[in-house]
Amino acid sequence: MSDKKKKIYKPTPVSGFPEWLPEVRKAEQQWFDHIRRIFEQYGFCNIETPSVETLDAIMAKGGDGEADVDKEVYVLERLHKEDGDKEARLALHFDQTVPLARYTAQHFNDLVFPFKRYQMQRVWRGERPQAGRFREFYQCDIDVLNVDNLPLHFDAEMPAIIWEVLSSLPGMENEKIQIRISNRKILMGLLEGLNITDEEHITQILRSVDKFEKVGKSIIIETCLSLELENGKEIADKIIGFVETVDIKTLEPLSDTMKEGIEELSFIMDQLAHLPEGAAVADLGIVRGLDYYTGTVYETNFVKEDGSLDLDYGSICSGGRYDDLASSYIKKSLPGVGISIGFSRLFDRMRVQGKLPQSGISPADVLVILPNEDARSVMNETAQTLRSRGYNVETFHSPSKLKRQLAYAEKKGIPYVWFPPFDADGAHEVKNMNTGDQVAASAEDWTKDD
């Protein structure tokens, strides 16, 4: 209320923190509703965890495989922290798996196992800003955890659910995607059979296998040679032959671990036989970076028009099985399997490609116009009647020119405009904005055109 001259702070987008206009947000809501509906159809309950964990809890997972994750964490500071405040440091979660592990451990006695939950929240990664990378984004995860033992049946359920979700997301119907599945026991068992036991060697080879499909054979050969393994070339050939295997039934197990992996993967592929051709395939080149996966691993890619995978774009939905997820937080064996849709990245791809469903800005089905000030109570009553019958209804706020009120409905994408009587002798009418048809109607029994 003061007269001081105000400084204008001109807002600009913050790199990595996406924000949508209402019409895009409406499509995003449709996506969330769709995903939620299918997750719930399979009996997954929802949880949310706080946006933060203590830094200790987040770092408890840390370690070997996730070497870079700690670089990506945002920590919170109170702007005006008083000296002597002794609070645990808090950090925004960078995924939903660490919070799930912590949640399951913390509430262990109050949960029913197998604990099947879905979670659709924002996560944050404090990376340096760069084009196309989000620093705040949504993930949609399903996981199942059980005590001591988790049937393999769940490993097969994950890709079946994800296939159903992704192939029917509004706007995704014409996209071709492929879920690729492997089992880390196969590759680990192969290395075991080849007498490669040094942890550093294993890590290097896994990395080269991970890069194989982008870089080609050379990366595996170079790695094996650089490690100065005995029979390096021979080992490289074995690994290449392995990664290129199309039919896992032809694989000859070199160790018990490898045999177990092949059996598990075969079981899962059999369970997925009902999916369309090419929807889910076994692919031994799938490694996944995170070290906690111990069996099944999943990646999902777009398939290009020529039938090849869109590897430049990377996986849109990944996950796997972990035998040891919550062991940082509780002395229990809690094997689990889970999969995560990188929601925001996928949604943004469809947005940029102009493939999102278009249904206007307003959620309203009907705009009831205000012909003149005397009609205000009739307008309000009409709107209330329609709302009580389940319709979403906007009213126009002032008795402006009809043309202006119609333009408002048009701009907001409201499909029907309702005309209350202009005078005592008049009747209610409804205009279908798509067809232009205008007919007499009553709020008590009107229904949308088909």
In our burial notation (b when 16+ CB lie closer than 10 A, e otherwise), range 251-274 reads bebbbebbbbbbbbbebbbebbee
CA distance 155 to 161: 11
Cβ proximity to its own copies, 2 vs 447, nearer residue:
2
Question: Half-sphere exposure of residue 421, counting CA atoms within 13 Å on the CB side?
Answer: 10
Do the beta carbons of residue 18 and residue 137 sit within 8 Å? yes
Taking the complex as a whole, the smallest distance from the CB of residue 126 to its own copies amounts, in Å, to 4
Cβ proximity to its own copies, 40 vs 449, nearer residue:
40
Which residues have CB under 8 Å from 27's CB, separation 6+? 170, 171, 347, 351, 356, 357, 358, 359
CA distance 146 to 358: 41
Cβ proximity to its own copies, 104 vs 340, nearer residue:
104
CA 156 to chain centre: 19
CA distance 200 to 281: 30
Taking the complex as a whole, the smallest distance from the CB of residue 270 to its own copies amounts, in Å, to 11
Taking the complex as a whole, the smallest distance from the CB of residue 269 to its own copies amounts, in Å, to 15
Taking the complex as a whole, the smallest distance from the CB of residue 424 to its own copies amounts, in Å, to 22
Cβ proximity to its own copies, 267 vs 422, nearer residue:
267
Cβ proximity to its own copies, 45 vs 225, nearer residue:
45
Taking the complex as a whole, the smallest distance from the CB of residue 5 to its own copies amounts, in Å, to 11
Taking the complex as a whole, the smallest distance from the CB of residue 264 to its own copies amounts, in Å, to 15
Taking the complex as a whole, the smallest distance from the CB of residue 43 to its own copies amounts, in Å, to 3
DSSP 3-state assignment of 161?
Answer: helix
How much is the CA Rg of the chain, to the nearest whole Å?
28
Cβ proximity to its own copies, 133 vs 397, nearer residue:
397
Cβ proximity to its own copies, 287 vs 414, nearer residue:
414
DSSP 3-state assignment of 432?
Answer: strand
